[in-house]
């Protein structure tokens, strides 16, 4: 079993891991020749299936496995991975490989990075720390003794330049992330949910905005909660086929609604459908008019964790099955290929009204 | 006549404050020792595994420094103070951009210490601010000779010097939850390795997941060329507490100078030092013993390592000998300090091993009064809403996913509507 790759797009990778880590601490990672699939399935709350093409985050990718499909399944803690990616964020280059340390499987990330020997951050200490650097040991000596008559001969200038050069060394950082190699048999029973065709599909407004308002509603609910009410307030999310999204909070004492208009209901691609477009539920909803809403209820706190995916800056399409399910498709564009996109699918935990 | 009388400039007060803040990460109390030519602050941590000594040169660091002494304290005066009280005195006043607030910065600070028969034992600090306000503080102290840790420099054959800022930046790569730092050399590869590790977590649930709950294991390889001076025995592993090392670097990077270390063998003390203008900062840390170090490679070395790290430093032989037997006046009972209590760490590097660290504070956006959100690409904004309370999801009406495409309702007797 062999897995080795260089990392690229570390920022994107890091943001995705951060978003997933807010939902669940441990992920199932499935590697094959073309895809990296990262799945988190919390005990309670929304589950995520992120299927990335290898080229999005990896380069010079090598995978070898005894499995017929050449796949490796790993169980991986997201926190340490996120921390390691943070280390790699400003690196010159970084690679990742599956290895063993003391008999324990590890994903080992090797990072080549520099330190900045920049100006003092903040105030300088004491009556001035300058005296110290001048008194620094010049143990390397000066190879060329400047001519006493040379007006440009300045020993200290040469010394400091030489020292600055010496600082430019790379440091090699190794971050070992503990992993568990999973037997294919144990994971083949985990299936991606299958959902019926949605009633409404709509592109969400900027997630930062949606998240800020959703969080505010959730906080309101927590504040307004009386004894009986749970501390897991539910938000009501609705959308129609006329570009509107509605977020609503109802408690015993208050009823607040926020509505976005002018959003896009993307066109369906008939070739991707198992039924004629005319029979598609969304066509039915559209014909029913702008007052026909598909509604689901979500847990405010879980929804907040879901919206954390906004940090990826991708386009997000929400698919509503009325009183049944909500799925978010987050499109992650490739930096080097504007036509290619990968999809992160959120199966949002929803509640009946 | 006062025993000791000195004046700090604005910068001096800042440096003094930084030094105390660093010490506070190790100890609640500081010993102040004044002599003709220098003022020394020392502290020892509660497990006596770390000793800190800051020396301020009388003629270079202070605007004014007069050590008078008296019959009782001819050569030196010493006392013990609580760091917390001193920190609040020398705290940097906000010198913001606004002209009116700038004046509240410290202009100078006069400190007078008086003690002796028939006199009140007090440290009086007068902080004069630019806006004309003068704050006077009077602190009680305990007359107590300082404990100095012994370090035999001749024994310490291993040494290196490197920019404290470089080292500080490297420490950023170490994740949370790590306890020990192993500094080791590889002469063949011409590398110095800084390896952070934590031993196996104690089995909590005994589940297989435990392997995945180990913190990140980090190694940083630095080329020997990067060091200004380096003389270290090949393959020597020296292990110290990450927390102590971080606290030292935090302070060292402010001075921005070169940090020098001296050490001998595992289980023997290690000295780290750096200096600023008129200030010398020295730390003596006890390293983890060799036996334990070799045990670290085995399965459960935690106890050994922890025990050994707590091995106290040797107190210097002159600890009490230089104090005349009858000399120390009986401290006023009201000044008597309580027994040392476990200090409150200013910044806790070591998180709870399990469960995972609590999520950060709720994002600013959730707290703000406005529904409108800032545009800045702050990562915090994406943090989920605080989920401090238990994930006690009410299972009443939660819809479950399955692979049939049909919703499955969890049955519940509490089902309403």
Q: Give the mean pLDDT of B56-76.
A: 88
pLDDT exceeds 70 at position A217: yes
| Structural domain contains residue A125 | no
**For position B271, what pLDDT does the model report?**
95
**For position B364, what pLDDT does the model report?**
37
Residues B72 and B91 in one domain: yes
Residues A58 and A25 in one domain: yes
| Structural domain contains residue A221 | yes
Residues B232 and B89 in one domain: no
Residues B81 and B103 in one domain: yes
pLDDT bucket at B187, cuts 50 / 70 / 90:
confident
Residues B128 and B239 in one domain: no
Mutate to test the interface with A, among B399, B411, B412 (most CBs of A within 10 A): B399
Cα distance between residue B160 and residue B263, in whole Å? 9
**For position B312, what pLDDT does the model report?**
63
Residues A68 and A103 in one domain: yes
Cβ-defined contacts of B193-196 (< 8 Å, 24+) = B193/B219, B193/B220, B193/B221, B193/B222, B194/B170, B194/B219, B194/B220, B194/B222, B195/B219, B195/B220, B196/B242
Spell out which residues of chain A touch residue B229, defining contact as CB-CB under 8 Å: 137, 139
Mean pLDDT is lowest, of A51-60, B195-204, B347-356, for B347-356
Q: Which residue has the higher pLDDT, A165 or A13?
A: A13
Among B131, B147, B163, residue at a domain's last position: B147
Our measurement of the distance from residue B352's CA atom to the centroid of its chain's CA atoms, rounded to an integer in Å, reads 18
pLDDT exceeds 60 at position B408: no
CB pair distance less than 8 Å for B15 and A126: yes
Mean pLDDT, chain A, rounded, equals 84
**For position B101, what pLDDT does the model report?**
54
pLDDT bucket at B72, cuts 50 / 70 / 90:
confident
Q: Give the mean pLDDT of A329-337.
A: 85
Residues B15 and B44 in one domain: yes
C-alpha dist (Å) from residue A325 to A243, B117, B396: 19, 83, 16
**For position A141, what pLDDT does the model report?**
38
pLDDT exceeds 50 at position A271: yes
pLDDT exceeds 90 at position A260: yes
pLDDT bucket at B338, cuts 50 / 70 / 90:
very low
**For position B403, what pLDDT does the model report?**
53
* Nearest of A231, A204, A229, A221 to residue A306 by alpha carbon: A204
Spell out which residues of chain B touch residue A175, defining contact as CB-CB under 8 Å: 173, 175, 216-218
pLDDT exceeds 90 at position B33: yes
Report the number of distinct structural domains present in chain A. Answer: 3
pLDDT exceeds 60 at position B346: no
Residues A107 and A6 in one domain: yes
| Residue-number span of the structural domain to which A301 is assigned | 200-351
Q: Phi first, then psi: what are they for A247, rounded to 5°?
A: -115, 130
Cα-only R_g, chain A: 27
C-alpha dist (Å) from residue B186 to B194, B264, B271, B373: 11, 17, 21, 52
| Structural domain contains residue B355 | no
CATH code of the domain containing B14? 3.70.10.10
**For position B289, what pLDDT does the model report?**
76
pLDDT bucket at B329, cuts 50 / 70 / 90:
very low
| Residue-number span of the structural domain to which B63 is assigned | 4-147
pLDDT exceeds 50 at position B83: yes
B369 and chain A in contact, CB less than 8 A: no
| Structural domain contains residue B235 | yes
Nearest CA in chain A to B359: A22
| Structural domain contains residue A126 | no
Residues B8 and B23 in one domain: yes
Residues B74 and B169 in one domain: no
| Structural domain contains residue B277 | no
Cα distance between residue A198 and residue A240, in whole Å? 11
| Structural domain contains residue A121 | no
Residues B140 and B160 in one domain: no
Nearest CA in chain A to B369: A216
pLDDT bucket at A124, cuts 50 / 70 / 90:
very low
pLDDT exceeds 70 at position B365: no
Nearest CA in chain B to A299: B393
CB pair distance less than 8 Å for A179 and B212: yes
**For position A185, what pLDDT does the model report?**
85
| Structural domain contains residue B191 | yes
Residues A46 and A76 in one domain: yes
pLDDT exceeds 70 at position B393: no
* Nearest of A153, A290, A107, A346 to residue B217 by alpha carbon: A107
| Structural domain contains residue B344 | no
B63 and chain A in contact, CB less than 8 A: no
Residues B109 and B193 in one domain: no
Cα distance between residue A114 and residue B295, in whole Å? 33
Residues A247 and A330 in one domain: yes
Residues A242 and A346 in one domain: yes
Residues B109 and B182 in one domain: no
**For position B179, what pLDDT does the model report?**
86
Residues A56 and A160 in one domain: no
| Structural domain contains residue A194 | no
Spell out which residues of chain A touch residue B398, defining contact as CB-CB under 8 Å: 44, 349, 351
Quote the DSSP letter at residue A309: G
**For position B300, what pLDDT does the model report?**
40
Q: Which residue has the higher pLDDT, A306 or B369?
A: A306
Give start and end residues of each alpha helix (H) in B269-301: 290-295
Mutate to test the interface with A, among B279, B368, B385, B402 (most CBs of A within 10 A): B385
Cα distance between residue B377 and residue A292, in whole Å? 36
* Nearest of B70, B75, B65 to residue B116 by alpha carbon: B70
| Structural domain contains residue B216 | no
Quote the DSSP letter at residue A147: P
| Min distance A352 CA to chain B CA atoms (Å) | 6
| Structural domain contains residue A58 | yes
B108 and chain A in contact, CB less than 8 A: no
Report the number of distinct structural domains present in chain B. Answer: 2
Residues A100 and A228 in one domain: no
Q: Give the mean pLDDT of B227-232.
A: 90
Residues A59 and A182 in one domain: yes
Question: How is residue A77 written in tokens?
Answer: 């803690």
Residues A88 and A53 in one domain: yes
Mean pLDDT is lowest, of A180-189, A235-244, A267-276, B89-98, for B89-98
Between vectors from CA B335 to CA B329 and to CA B337, what angle results, nearest 5°?
110
Q: Which residue has the higher pLDDT, B322 or A338?
A: A338
Sheet holding A245-250, edge to edge: A255-260, A245-250, A234-239, A294-299, A350-351
**For position B52, what pLDDT does the model report?**
96
Residues B190 and B301 in one domain: yes
Q: Give A76's strand partners.
A: A27
Q: Which residue has the higher pLDDT, B341 or A218?
A: A218
Q: What is the ipTM of this complex?
A: 0.76
pLDDT bucket at B209, cuts 50 / 70 / 90:
low
Highest mean pLDDT out of A22-31, B203-212, B372-381: A22-31
CB pair distance less than 8 Å for B209 and A26: yes
Mutate to test the interface with B, among A29, A127, A177 (most CBs of B within 10 A): A127
Cα distance between residue A258 and residue B75, in whole Å? 76
Mean pLDDT is lowest, of A149-153, B20-24, B313-317, B352-356, for B352-356
CATH code of the domain containing A56? 3.70.10.10
Residues A162 and A179 in one domain: no
| Structural domain contains residue B352 | no
**For position B350, what pLDDT does the model report?**
32
pLDDT bucket at B303, cuts 50 / 70 / 90:
very low
Spell out which residues of chain B touch residue A177, defining contact as CB-CB under 8 Å: 216
B15 and chain A in contact, CB less than 8 A: yes
Quote the DSSP letter at residue A204: P
A223-251 pLDDT tens trace: 877 655 567 889 999 999 999 999 999 98
| Structural domain contains residue B366 | no
**For position B197, what pLDDT does the model report?**
82
Residues B132 and B158 in one domain: no
Quote the DSSP letter at residue A312: G
Residues A36 and A158 in one domain: no
Q: Give the mean pLDDT of A169-176.
A: 90
């Amino acid at each position: 079993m062999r897995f080795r790759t260089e990392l690229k797009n570390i920022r994107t990778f890091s943001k995705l891991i951060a978003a997933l880590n807010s939902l669940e601490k441990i992920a199932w990672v499935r590697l094959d020749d073309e895809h990296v699939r990262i799945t988190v399935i919390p005990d309670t709350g929304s589950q995520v299936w992120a299927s990335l093409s290898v080229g999005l985050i990896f380069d010079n990718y090598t995978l070898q496995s005894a499995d017929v499909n050449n796949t490796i399944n790993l169980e991986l803690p997201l926190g340490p991975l996120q921390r390691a990616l943070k280390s790699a964020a400003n690196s010159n280059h970084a690679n990742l490989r599956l290895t063993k340390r003391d008999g324990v499987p590890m994903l080992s990330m090797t990072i080549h990075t520099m330190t900045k020997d920049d100006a003092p951050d903040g105030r300088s200490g004491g009556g001035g720390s300058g005296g110290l650097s001048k008194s620094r040991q010049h143990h390397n000596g000066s190879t060329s003794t400047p001519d006493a008559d040379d007006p440009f001969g300045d020993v200290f200038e040469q010394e400091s330049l030489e020292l600055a050069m010496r600082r430019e060394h790379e440091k090699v950082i190794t971050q070992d992330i503990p992993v568990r190699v999973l037997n294919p048999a144990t994971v083949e029973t985990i299936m991606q949910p299958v959902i019926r065709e949605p009633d409404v599909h709509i592109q969400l407004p900027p997630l930062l905005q949606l998240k800020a308002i959703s969080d505010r509603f959730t906080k309101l609910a927590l504040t307004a909660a009386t004894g009986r009410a749970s501390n897991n307030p539910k938000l009501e999310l609705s959308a129609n086929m006329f570009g509107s999204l509605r977020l609503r909070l109802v408690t015993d004492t208050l009823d607040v609604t926020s509505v976005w208009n002018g959003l896009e209901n993307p066109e369906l691609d008939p070739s991707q459908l198992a039924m004629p477009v005319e029979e598609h539920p969304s066509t039915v909803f559209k014909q029913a008019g702008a007052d026909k809403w598909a509604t689901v209820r979500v847990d405010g706190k879980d929804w907040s964790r879901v919206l954390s995916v906004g940090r990826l800056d991708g386009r997000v399409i929400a698919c509503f099955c009325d009183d049944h399910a909500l799925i978010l498709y987050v499109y992650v564009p490739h930096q080097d290929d504007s036509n290619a996109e990968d999809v992160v699918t959120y199966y949002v935990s929803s509640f009946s009204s | 006549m006062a025993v000791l009388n000195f004046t700090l400039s604005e910068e001096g007060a800042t440096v003094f404050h930084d030094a105390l803040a660093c010490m506070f990460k190790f100890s609640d109390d500081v010993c102040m020792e004044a002599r003709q030519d220098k003022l020394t602050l020392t502290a020892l941590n509660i497990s006596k595994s770390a000793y800190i000594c800051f020396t301020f040169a009388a003629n270079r660091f202070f605007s004014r420094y007069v050590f008078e002494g008296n019959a009782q304290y001819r050569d030196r005066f010493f006392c013990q103070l609580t760091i917390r009280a001193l920190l609040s005195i020398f705290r940097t006043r906000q010198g913001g951009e606004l002209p009116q607030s700038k004046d509240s910065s410290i202009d100078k600070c006069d400190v007078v210490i008086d003690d002796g028969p028939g006199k009140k034992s007090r440290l009086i600090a007068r902080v004069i601010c630019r806006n004309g306000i003068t704050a006077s503080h009077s602190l009680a102290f305990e007359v107590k000779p300082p404990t100095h840790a012994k370090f035999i420099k001749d024994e310490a054959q291993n040494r290196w010097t490197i920019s404290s800022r470089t080292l500080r930046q490297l420490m950023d790569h170490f994740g949370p939850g790590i306890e020990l730092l192993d500094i080791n050399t590889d002469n063949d590869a011409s590398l110095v390795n800084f390896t952070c590790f934590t031993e196996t977590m104690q089995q909590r649930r005994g589940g297989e997941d435990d392997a995945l709950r180990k913190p990140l294991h980090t190694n940083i390889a630095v080329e020997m060329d990067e060091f200004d001076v380096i003389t270290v025995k090949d393959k020597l592993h020296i292990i110290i507490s990450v927390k102590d090392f971080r606290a030292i670097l935090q302070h060292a990077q402010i001075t921005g100078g070169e940090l020098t270390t001296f050490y001998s063998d595992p289980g023997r003390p290690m000295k780290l030092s750096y200096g600023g203008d008129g200030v010398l900062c020295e730390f003596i840390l006890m390293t983890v013993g060799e036996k334990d170090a070799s045990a670290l490679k085995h399965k459960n070395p935690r106890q050994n390592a922890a025990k050994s790290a707590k091995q106290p430093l040797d107190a210097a032989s002159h600890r009490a000998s230089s104090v005349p037997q009858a000399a120390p006046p009986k401290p006023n009972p009201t000044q008597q300090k309580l027994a040392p209590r476990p200090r409150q760490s200013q910044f806790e590097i070591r998180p709870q091993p399990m469960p995972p660290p609590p999520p950060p504070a709720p994002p600013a956006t959730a707290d703000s009064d406005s529904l409108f959100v800032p545009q800045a690409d702050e990562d915090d904004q994406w943090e989920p809403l605080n989920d401090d309370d238990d994930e006690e999801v009410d299972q009443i009406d939660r819809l479950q996913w399955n692979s049939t495409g049909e919703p499955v309702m969890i049955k519940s007797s509490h089902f309403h509507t």
